[in-house]
Amino acid sequence: MNHRSYLALAIPLTISTITTPLLGVVDMAVVGQLPDPAYIGGVAVGTIIFNTMYWLFGFLRVSTSGFAAQAQGANDERQQVLALIRPLFIAFVVGASFLFLQWPIQYLAFVFINPTADVYKFASDYFSIRIWGAPFALMNYVIIGWLVGRSRIRISLSLQVLMNLINILLAIMFVKWFSWDVSGVAAATLIAEIAAFILSLCIIIKMLSPSFNFLAIKEILDPKPFKKMMAMNRDLMIRTFCLLAVFNVFTAKGASFGTEVLAANAVLIQVHYMMAYAFDGFANASSIYVGKAVGSHDQGLYKRTLSLSCQWALFSSLFITGVYYLCKSYIIPLFTQIPSVIELASTYERWIMLYPISAALGLILYGVFTGATEAKPIRNSMVYALILFLVILYVCVPVLQNHGLWLAFILFSLGRSVFLALYIPKLSRKLFSVKEACYEHSSRSI
C-alpha cells in the first residue's frame, strides 16, 4: 500500500461522507421556496430531531465497517455476512423502538425545542411521516458501513447519491405539483430511504457467491461475537454523548453572550462541520486498511497504514487550513448576509483556523481504532477531552468571554488527538505481540 492507494480510498470516501447530511438540506431547500417561513421552521425542527436520533446511533455504520474489513482481511465470506446481519438486527430493533416510542419522543423533543404554534404544526406533520423510515435509515447506515468495510466504495457512493436524487425529485414533485408542502418533503425522504434499502439488499444478494449457504439463527445470535459488538457500540455511544455534551454546552454558553455572538458561533461551527467531514474520508480509509491488516494478521500493512494516517493528518490539516485562509472572505457570507454577524465571525475565525491542526490526528486515528474494533481507547480519550474542555471553560470563559469558549473547544479537539495517540503503542502490542508469540511457539513446535 502507498499514498496513491490510500488516497484512492480516502477521496471517494470523503465525497460519500459529505452526502450524509444532504437529506435534511434538500428538504430545507425545497420548502424554502414556499411563502411562509413557518414551513422552513417546521422542517428545521424535524431535521434536528432526526439528526440527533440518527447521530446517536451513527456507531452502527462505523463498527460494522471495522468488523467487515477484518472479515474481508481473513477472506472469510461467512464472517463477512455475519458482520452485516448482526448489526442489521440491532438497527431494526432500535428503529422499531423509535416507531413504538414516537409519541413520547415527539413530545419531549417539542418541549425541549419549544417551537411556535405554526412551526409546531408543520414539524409535527414532518415528524409523523418521516419517523416510519427510522428502521430503514438505521439499516442503511449498517449497509453503507458494511460496503465501505469491504472496500465497495463506488457502490456505497452510488447508493447514497441515488437516495438523494430520489429524494430531490420526489420532494419537488410532491411540493410543486401535488402541493403537499412539509408532508411532501417528509414523504419524499421516507420513500428514498425505503428504496435505498431495498436496492441495497438486491445488490448484497447478488454479491454473495453461488455456493454460499444461508446462516442458521443460532449462528447469527452467537453470544460471544454479539458481546464484542455490543461492547464496541456501547463505547462509541459514550463517545457520541461526550460530543453532544460539548456542543450543547458550547451553544448554551455562546447564547449567554448575546444573539449575535450565538449566530457567529453557529456559522463557525458549520465551517467546523465541513472541515470534520473532509477528515472522515481519511479516517474511513485507515479503518478499512487496519481492519484488513488485523483480519489477515499483516503487521506490515498495519504499520504502513498507521504511518500514512499520521502523514495525511498533517498534510490534510495544512491543506484545509490553507484553503480556508484563502477563501475565508467568501465562506462566511455563504451562511449569513447580516453584517454584524459576519464581522463577529471574522473576529473569532482565527480559532476555526486552528481546528484542522488540532483535530486532524484524533479524527483520523479514530479510523485506526475502529478498524481494529477497539473502541475503549476512543471512549476514554473522549471522556478525558471532555473533562479538559469543562476545566478550560470554567477557568477561561469568565476572563476571555467568547474567546475563552473557543479556546476550550480547540483544546478539547487537541485533547482528542493527544489522548488517543497515547493509546497507539498499547494497541500495536495488543494486536500483534500476542499473535507473534503464538506464531513463534507454533513454529518451534513444528
pLDDT digits 0-9 by tens, 199-218: 999 998 888 776 666 666 76
| Among the listed residues 336, 371, 378, 344, the one whose alpha carbon sits nearest the alpha carbon of residue 240 | 378
Q: Determine whether 437 is exposed, middle or buried from the number of CB atoms within 10 Å of its CB (0-12, 13-18, 19+).
A: exposed
Q: Is the pLDDT of residue 97 over 90?
A: yes
Looking up cell 486498511 gives 289
Residue pLDDT, tens place only, 323-362: 989 988 888 887 667 788 788 888 888 999 999 999 999 9
Phi, psi of 324 (to 5 degrees): -65, -40
DSSP state of 30: H
CA distance 160 to 142: 13
Contact between 39 and 118 (Cβ < 8 Å): no
What pLDDT sits at residue 134?
93
DSSP state of 216: P
Q: Is the pLDDT of residue 122 over 90?
A: no
What pLDDT sits at residue 446?
34
Q: Vertex 366, ends 88 and 405: CA angle to 5°?
A: 115
Q: Is the pLDDT of residue 373 over 90?
A: no
CA distance 223 to 71: 18
What pLDDT sits at residue 445?
35
DSSP state of 430: I
| Among the listed residues 423, 277, 419, 406, the one whose alpha carbon sits nearest the alpha carbon of residue 352 | 406
SS3 content of the chain, % helix, strand, coil (to 5): 90, 0, 10
Residue 266: C-alpha distances to residues 30, 254, 349 (Å): 22, 9, 12
* Residue 117 neighbours by CB under 8 Å, 6+ apart: none
Residue 116, SS3?
A: coil
Looking up cell 469568565 gives 398
Q: Is the pLDDT of residue 444 over 50?
A: no
What is the pTM for the complete model shown?
Answer: 0.78
